[in-house]
Amino acid sequence: MTRLPALDGLDVAGRTVLVRADLNVPLADGGVADDFRIRASLPTIMALRDRGARVVVCSHLGRPKGPDPAFAMDPVAARLGELGGFSVVKTATVAGPDAARAVAAGGDEVVVLENTRFEPGETKNDPALADALASLADAFVLDAFGSAHRAHASTVGVTERLPSAAGLLLDAEVAALSTLLENPARPYVVALGGAKVSDKLAVMRYLLPKVDLMLVGGGMCFTLLAAGGYEVGSSLVEESMVAEVADLLGSADGGKIVLPEDVVAADRFAEDASYDVVPAFAIPDDRMGLDIGPDTTARFGAVLEEAASVFWNGPMGVFEWEAFRAGTTGVAEAVARSRGFTVIGGGDSVAAIRLLGLENDVSHVSSGGGAGLEMLEGRELPGIAALRKWAEDA
């Protein structure tokens, strides 16, 4: 596979570099609620500054349908400056005269452009917007792995117009996931959770022949249990997916799928619901599964701890509620104890590992949920494909 063009191969001294970062962070009370992605963007920004570049940063924030003060980049820009220890100039627009003046003013500040999604041309990869963004800089660095699966003006369009390279975060993300795709150490175990099997079915199909075991928990496991003919009570089931899931379970590699043997079943979907532990294959009609049970947690944990390669995406239960957090906690702790190569992807899984303070005990914590899953489905991400062309032409 063609390598990505490296950051240290880009001529940046005395030049302006546009960095597409992933600063799509949650906001609360007018500030940043979780700065994980901002922190992850700093190594690339600092490396460019250390080499004498003037850095301009762009990112989307949320999913606004045009300009919306609730999604302005101001609190993100302020937090970036606090964490980086540098001054920040935040522009009022994504591109155009205001942005051009801020970039041309010189100085040691980092320029942060307004939310790229304020421009309707962003998600359409509009050539005019790509031209306007490219006109602000001499070179481009794509460091937003979480957006690399989108063919947007700020991810693909600019890459096609400026000398480009992968940022340190993007390079690390691609290297980690490529290891799992191309040459994983054995045994290779994948743990999947989350609410919907429809979100994970493509990656399940692609990875199942490549893994030794696939552990399935979370709300998605009940669709698999239903497809196997078991009673799941009032648990979440995607009825439209049952037939496809049944085919997967009955496939040549279907025996690699490990389902829960017990679950924590509640009388309703509520934080203060009454609950008990029941067999996963016979959940009472008036109960819904909200977490994997203690026997399953121990079984999953033992498998993960002994694995040489691990990929975990998705919580094992409604981990936001303490009563239904034990399964996710057990899986997180087992992954952290593993001496193998461990990768965690997906916002909820990352939130869980950080909640437990275990992020430094895994090999790689991915900043991109959807992008990571698409890459593990064997798909070439548009942003990465555009970057590879620079490596091929070198």
DSSP string of 365-389, one letter each residue:
E-S-HHHHHHHHTTPPPHHHHHHHH
Per-residue pLDDT of the chain (394 residues; tens, 9 = 90+): 557 999 999 999 999 999 999 999 999 998 999 999 999 999 999 999 999 999 999 999 999 989 999 999 999 999 999 999 999 999 999 999 999 999 999 789 999 999 999 999 999 999 999 999 999 999 999 999 989 999 999 999 999 999 999 999 999 999 999 999 998 999 999 999 999 999 999 999 999 999 999 999 999 999 999 999 999 999 999 999 999 999 999 999 999 999 999 999 999 999 999 999 999 999 999 999 999 999 999 999 999 999 999 999 999 999 999 999 999 999 999 999 999 999 998 778 888 888 889 989 999 999 877 888 899 988 889 999 999 988 776 5
Q: What is the pLDDT of residue 354?
A: 87
What is 186-339's CATH topology?
Rossmann fold (3.40.50)
Residue 216, strand partner residues: 192
The rounded Cα 177 to chain-centroid distance in angstroms is 12
pTM equals 0.91
Q: Phi, psi (5° rounding) for residue 326?
A: -60, -40
Q: Which of 93, 80, 67, 65 lies closest to 31, judged by CA?
A: 80
Positions annotated as catalytic residues are 37, 196, 347, 370
378: left (phi over 0), alpha (psi -120 to 50) or beta: left
Pick 7-167+380-393's CATH classification: 3.40.50.1260, 3.40.47.10, 3.40.50.720, 2.60.120.260: 3.40.50.1260
Domain ranges of the chain: 7-167+380-393, 186-339
Closest CA to 366 of 144, 73, 33, 205: 144
Q: How far is CA 238 from the centre of its chain?
A: 23
Is 186-339 in the same CATH topology as 7-167+380-393? yes
pLDDT at 134: 98
Non-local (6+) Cβ contacts of 328 within 8 A are 193, 291, 315, 316, 317, 319, 352
pLDDT at residue 281 in the model: 93
Tally Cβ neighbours within 10 Å of residue 128. 12
Residue 351 pLDDT: 85
